[in-house]
Amino acid sequence: MGPAAKDSSNRPVTKVYFNSTYRAKGSHSDLEWQIPGVETVTTGPNGHCSFQEFSVGHSRYVVQADINNVLYVTTRAAPTGGVSQLDYHSLVIPAGNYTGTTLASAMQTALNTTSDGTGATYICSFQPTYAKLRARLHDPKHGGAGPH
């Protein structure tokens, strides 16, 4: 009985090391991987694949409590005596890992806790082409959305 797997030179293969850093394409979490050296491993009926060791690197949250979780926003309040007033807000974004889209959603939720009394709301979105977050004020009394 021969080895359970062989490389393209017909040498026995007992281990293949996988590291997402050396992926063929994709991201660390969704990838296509190719055996280094453009090898092909052929397995026979006695071949099997198993994980002998699995490591996930230590990571911190993208948004961390008391480090970068407060969004400081200034909004225009109703004028008092004909003079424009400003309101200052410190909005807390929950600590956690976010994609651009989920961070935009968390920002929208936080921004919509502010109120200027007009019924206006914020609409936040992530623009992946430019890696930008965008917040727009939607004011139904003044014709809809406008950039802010």
Domain count, the chain: 2
Q: What is the pLDDT of residues 18-61, one digit of tens each?
A: 666 666 677 656 666 666 555 666 666 666 666 666 655 555 66
> What is residue 61's DSSP assignment?
-
pLDDT reading at 142 higher than 70: no
In a domain, 141, yes or no: yes
In a domain, 65, yes or no: no
In a domain, 77, yes or no: yes
First to last CA, the chain: 71
Indicate whether 78 and 44 sit together in one domain.
no
In a domain, 25, yes or no: yes
What pLDDT is stored for residue 117 in this prediction? 67
What pLDDT is stored for residue 10 in this prediction? 76
pTM, two decimals, is: 0.54
Indicate whether 50 and 89 sit together in one domain.
no
Residue 41 carries which side chain, given as an amino acid letter? V
Torsions phi, psi of 132, nearest 5?
-120, 145
Token output for 69: 């979780």
Task: Look at 14 and 70; give whichever has higher pLDDT.
Answer: 70
Indicate whether 123 and 95 sit together in one domain.
yes
Task: Look at 36 and 97; give whichever has higher pLDDT.
Answer: 97
In a domain, 63, yes or no: no
Token output for 14: 């007992």
Which residue range(s) make up the domain with 40?
1-58
